[in-house]
Amino acid sequence: MLSYQDLKRVVDDGLLFPHGIREEMFQPASIDLTLSDSFYDPHSGQSYRDVALTLEPDDFTLGCTVERIHVPRSYAVQVNGKSSLARQGLLVHATAGFVDPGFEGQITLELKNLSKDPIVLLTGMRIAQVHVFALSSATLVAYGNPKLGSHYQGQSGAQPAADLW
């Protein structure tokens, strides 16, 4: 897993985040990501934009990060929630927190309120963090390769589940 100085180097070299990351987003071994205004309600099948989202108890919706990421072939990324939001009962990914080498796009977040109280989410708030792992060697077959059937390459905005069949 990359540490602060290695994360800074990778980002400064233009890898991972093509549009850069603000200095205050760097943590000792992670990079914070912020919430976009793009959401998708899987129950209604509707995409929508909002600057504030109130997740009622047991609500589930898809959101995404403001930041676009490009994972080089020699790295992989794990998305996790921020501890302050997790302690309020917010889950930012159900099981899909792994980002493969070669992925490019905004990261879709699976937002679930596990608490008994509403949780208010604001566009631009720090919602998640990524941990970056160096692979033992650059992968020869990266996400987006046609033979993999990668569904979400280049995604922009909160994306619904792809048809897997």
Q: Which two tokens stand for residue 103?
A: 């992925």
Q: How far apart are CA 106 and CA 58, in angstroms?
A: 25
Q: How many residues belong to the chain?
A: 165
To the query of whether residue 110 is one of the catalytic residues in this protein, the response is yes
Cα separation, 101 vs 98, whole angstroms: 10
Cα maximum dimension of the chain: 46
Q: Which residues pair with 130 in a beta bridge?
A: 31, 79
Active-site residue, from 24, 56, 67, 110: 110
Sheet holding 126-134, edge to edge: 31-34, 126-134, 75-81, 98-99
Residue 139 near residue 150 (C-beta atoms within 8 A): no
**CB-based contact 123:36 (threshold 8 Å):** yes
Give the catalytic positions in this structure: 110
